[in-house]
Structures are given as C-alpha cells and as structure tokens.
Amino acid sequence: MSTVTKPESRDVGEVIRSLWDFNDKAASETRFRDALKTLKADDALEVETQIARTFSLRRDFETAHRLLNDIEQRMTPSSRAALRVRYLLERGRTFNSAKQFDTAKPLFQQAYDLAIKEPALIGLAIDAAHMFGFSKDKDEAFRWTELGMKLALGSEHPDAIGWRPGLANNLGSTERERDNLDASMKHFQVALKEHLTRSKPLQIRIAYWQVANVHRLQGKIDDAMAIQLRLEKESDEAKSPDVYIYTELAELYAAPGAKRDAQRAKHYAELALAMAEKDAWMVENEASLIARMKDIRQN
C-alpha cells in the first residue's frame, strides 16, 4: 500500500527564525514554548525540534535526545518533509555537539537527501550540507561546504541567500586550516561583503575579525592591528567584550617587529584569560588558545 503524503501546511521556518536568539538559548526555549500554544500537529513538532536544539546547545544532550525521542514517536508516515528533515538535523546536531560526528553523519545525509528533493526546503538542504563541515576529513568538509555554497548562490530563496555569508566564512576557515591563506582571505572577504549588506553589527565585527586574523597570519601586522583595535572599541561601545579580539591583540603585540609591546601583549592575554577560563565551552574546546595566552602572559 502506498503512503499518501498530506499537503505541506504553512511553513513555520519564518516563525522559528524570528524566535531564535543563539546568544540566549534559555530565552529562545521560552519563546518556542509560548509559540506552541497556538500551533498544532506538524507545525508544533517542528518548533519542538528547536526546543531540543536549545538543550543540545546548552550541552544537555540527555534532555535533547529525550525530546527528540518523543517527537520521533509522534511523527507519522504522512508527516511533512520539513518536519522529518528538522528532526534528522537536530538529532544529528545533538550527536555532533557531543563529539560523535560519525554517528551524526548518516543523519545529516538523510536530511540532505530528503530536503534536496523539494525546492521550498533548499535552506534545510544547505543546512544539512553545512553540517558536514564538522567532519574531521577536511576534504569531505570542504566538498560539502562548497556544495552548500553552490546551492546558496544558485537560488534566490531567502533561506538560501541567508546561508551565503556563513558558508563563505566556513570555506575561509577550512582554507586557513589548510594554510591556503590567499584563498582563505578571498572567502572571508566574500563573507564580509555579504554581512555588510545585512546591517548586523556583531556579525560584521566577526567578519572583520576573520579578515584581520588572516592579515596577521600573512605577516601584515599593521593591517591586522588597525582592524582589531577598531573592533575592540566597537565591542566595548556595544558592551559586548570579545575574548577573541583580546587574543588577537595579544598575539599582535607579541609578534616580532615595530609593533611589539610585551606589556600590552600581557594585558590583552590577561583580559582573554579572564573570560576564557570562566567559559566551560572554551575550556573544553580552546585549550590550545588558553595555553597560548598563558604563555604570552608569562613571557
């Protein structure tokens, strides 16, 4: 017996995007739960996948999986594709955040295979492709990120357009890891250009940071310093101090040359450590950066 798929109901993607604040997962969870009061069936389940994501991002993997188990049990063969894709993505993201990419990988593949079939789900297809960027196989990560960028550039769907700066940033990061600095700079400049059209100050600062970081790695200390000092001022004015700006300024003042200033290097290393050592994620994931700041502070 063939399964009859019910027509797609209204897209809740816009609702989900409007409720997310990735800088405040708890507040996002509250907004999603409030939204559930007016949603039913697949609409509600789609939003529930995002509640699970708030727990995954807070590293409460047990709760995230429990919520996803409940969603899985309530889905039916006629559940719409968008819901099935979101479920697969969030299950995969939960495994990936717990450093289990190999377990997540087939889930991302399934999500991509489902989403790519429907033009309306191009944004979710790109999302699935971008998750392969977490692969330890850098060639695999780069191939999938390139595919995501190709899809983003080939569609005028708002969801696809929205992925362009992030994917350009990811391509730049991968090329930087490969020590292909010229290629890395090219991608980061694309990301910066895209972000400048969106008027989101934090994202613009991050994009400039990436450009400045590559300048430093290329030995262009003056160019890097000018950008990072401006970013420090802007982040201070926004009352949003940034540990990564401090680490770059520590590196720049510690670098050989006319700009070398051991005291200022130590100052910024201290500022960076004061933030990093209080951040559980950084302690777990940025051990080498923290060690480097300690080294600058001591020398």
pLDDT in tens, 10-46: 578 888 988 999 889 999 999 999 999 999 999 999 9
Q: What percent of the chain has pLDDT over 70?
A: 97
Domain-located, residue 247: yes
Rounded CA-CA distance 59/99 in Å is 11
* Contact (Cβ atoms closer than 8 angstroms) between residue 221 and residue 259: yes
pLDDT in tens, 244-259: 999 999 999 999 987 8
Rounded CA-CA distance 172/166 in Å is 10
The CB density around residue 176, as the number of other CB atoms within 10 Å, is 19
Question: In terms of residue numbers, what domain contains 253?
Answer: 199-299
Domain-located, residue 214: yes
Domain-located, residue 97: no
Domain-located, residue 41: no
Domain-located, residue 143: no
Could you give the 3-state DSSP secondary structure of residue 124?
helix
Is the model's pTM score more than 0.75?
yes
pLDDT beyond 80 at 141: yes
CATH of the domain at 204: 1.25.40
Instruction: Say what the pLDDT of residue 232 is.
Output: 98
Domain-located, residue 50: no
pLDDT beyond 80 at 140: yes
Domain-located, residue 271: yes
The DSSP symbol for 2 reads P
pLDDT in tens, 99-134: 999 999 999 999 999 999 999 999 999 999 999 999
pLDDT in tens, 72-83: 999 999 999 999
Residues 6+ positions from 198 with CB-CB distance below 8 Å: 165, 204
Domain-located, residue 280: yes
The number of folded domains in the chain is 1
